[in-house]
Structure 1
Amino acid sequence: MKPIRVGKIAFTNILPIYHYFDDRGTEVELIPMVPSQLNRGMAAGEIDLGPISSFAYAENYPHFVLMPDLSISAMGPVGSIFLFTRGKELSELRHARIALTNTSASSVNLLRVLLEKFEGGSPDYVTMPPCLDEMMKEADAALLIGDDAIKALWHHSGYRVLDLGEEWHKYTGLSMTFAVWAVRREIAETRMEELAEIYLRFMKAKEQGRREPLPVIREAMRQLGGERDFWTKYYDGLCYDLREQQLEGLKTYYRYAAELGLLSSDVEICMLDLPAGLGMR
């Protein structure tokens, strides 16, 4: 039987889960990609499970189920999803030209909710590779995510930096879930025993990442640089749960996106039906 193909976001935000993930035993093939690649791979059946953009789940929800209690979320600043501007606030960008990274789905559409629903704007969007210098030649503001956003924060002074997790929280008071762990339905229907084992490994990895953050921080420093204090604060601001608080924010995000015509209005959040005893801790 073929190994289960597990996507892995190629950003440091996922390290608290994957640094301790045990891919031995049950045959697992880890496939690192940026979020937009994982979204396409899941939709095309090239990936069996993995952390995809929460927006991509909503676009394809009849074909996916979610692993319980796994997400990338934030209640306030997320620390790696930034809109870079020339000194302007969000309210001053209602009719601006905005460069969007081509590596994201959830963040791009979150920005549209913020600007179009909450600010009543109608910006002109252009999608580009994640290079801040080139993006700002073409636009009044630029959206970057993940490691691209962190590196731009470190190396490009002079811009105002708006954190989209913080902006969402200002408007709603809610958590924002940027990624969820999705499983293709045909895999859930045919390989439940293996999925249950993989799920347990994810939960063990998440707990170990929470208990032992220093090796994760050292790995992030090895990959990108930066200081220990930066990474400590960064990971403290991220939440990897998918519980009532995160689901409330996620449902609200889906509702606003549907009101703008970005999603259908009937998105269902369906959890993997795990054997007894393997649910949320």
Structure 2
Amino acid sequence: MINNQASVRIGRIDFTNVWPLFYYFPFSSFGNDLEVTQQVPSGLNRAMAEGRIDIGAISSFAYGENFDEYLVFPDMSVSAFGQVNSILLFHRKPLEELGDAKIALPTTSATSINLLKIILTKFYGLQPEYEYAAPELEPMMKSADAALLIGDHAIRASWEKNGYLVTDLATEWTRLTGQWMTFAVCTIRKQTVEQYPELVSRIYEAFLESKSKSLADPAALVRDAQKQIGGTEAYWQRYFSELCYEFGPKQWAGLSLYYQYAAELGFLERNVPLQIWKDNSVVRVTE
């Protein structure tokens, strides 16, 4: 009996913010060794946790929930130091007045939802009511005082003249902590590294090559973003240039602080060490 199952299954977030990692990825050169699944972050998080995906650009929070099973690729993430443009809270009242508010949360996120809770609870001392809803701004705001949107849903909503106050959560995080915020990391199941070390190395190099080529000349990404999402060339040029796709010590420090706060507030069961894959060995970052 012939087994046609791919050796490694890769998960891709269905948002423009991860395009540089995948845009020039040479999937055809891997033949039947790879299979690609594209979903919203929450779907990929579940698939990775259940072992249905081996390598994934998943929510940073999802790594924190299952770090015993995962390693993280260095040099690639979706991060920001300040404005990210696609993690946005729309609200009628200033942040400090949201203590008795009802906030609608998208069903597509994990990292951003808990970032919002960290900001409001730890830094503003607020405990608003939260509810989950499909990621559509106006329906969310019909029953809530504020709504969190992420990814392309947030981008589209930010172009509308809706009269709401808008807070970029990455900007707020950096203002409050002075740190980077990392929203997604490229994660590998430890078992996959053990089974396919050479293939994992090839995949890592292919991701880096795609990232470098995309950022060196983002014109093609910009054109495709305009076709699929809308907006102007100038908007997407700025969008891709303001996002950071690195994952080194500065980003590690910011993400470690996020994990620390999440554990303190009970969103994560324990403190999370970053276990960084490097040439099929592991570098453990605890600070």
Normalising TM by the smaller chain, what interval?
over 0.9
Is 1:142 the counterpart of 2:142 in the alignment? no
Within the candidate set 3, 6, 18, 2:10 is matched to 6
Please tell me the residue identity of whatever aligns with 1:34. Answer: V
Is 1:185 the counterpart of 2:190 in the alignment? yes
Judging changes above 3 Å, is the alpha-carbon distance between structure 1 residues 156 and 7 closer, same or farther for their aligned structure 2 residues?
Answer: farther
Is 1:18 the counterpart of 2:28 in the alignment? no
Runs of 4 or more, structure 1, over 4 Å off, are: none
Which residue is 1:65 aligned to? 71
What per-residue deviation string (whole Å, max 9, x for no partner) do you get for residues 166-203 of structure 1?
01011001110000001111111111111100100000
How many angstroms apart in 2 are the aligned matches of 1:51 and 1:95? Answer: 35
Please tell me the residue identity of whatever aligns with 1:89. Answer: P
| CA positional deviation for 1:274 | 1.5
Residues 28-67 of structure 1 correspond to what in structure 2 (within 5 A)? 28-67=34-73
Please tell me the residue identity of whatever aligns with 1:107. Answer: S
Residues 1-281 of structure 1 correspond to what in structure 2 (within 5 A)? 2-3=5-6, 4-26=8-30, 27-86=33-92, 88-275=93-280
Judging changes above 3 Å, is the alpha-carbon distance between structure 1 residues 34 and 156 closer, same or farther for their aligned structure 2 residues?
Answer: farther
Kept in 2: contact 1:75–1:175 (CA 8 A): yes
Counterpart secondary structure, 1:271: strand
Kept in 1: contact 2:59–2:184 (CA 8 A): yes
- Structure 2: where are the runs of 5+ without partners? 282-287
Please tell me the residue identity of whatever aligns with 1:195. Answer: V
TM-score scaled to structure 1, two decimals?
0.95
Kept in 2: contact 1:49–1:182 (CA 8 A): yes
How many angstroms apart in 2 are the aligned matches of 1:244 and 1:94? Answer: 35
What per-residue deviation string (whole Å, max 9, x for no partner) do you get for residues 17-74 of structure 1?
2111111222211111000000001001111111110000000000111111111000
- Structure 1: where are the runs of 5+ without partners? 277-281
Which residue is 2:285 aligned to? none
Sequence identity percentage: 46
TM-score scaled to structure 2, two decimals?
0.93
Please tell me the residue identity of whatever aligns with 2:75. Answer: D
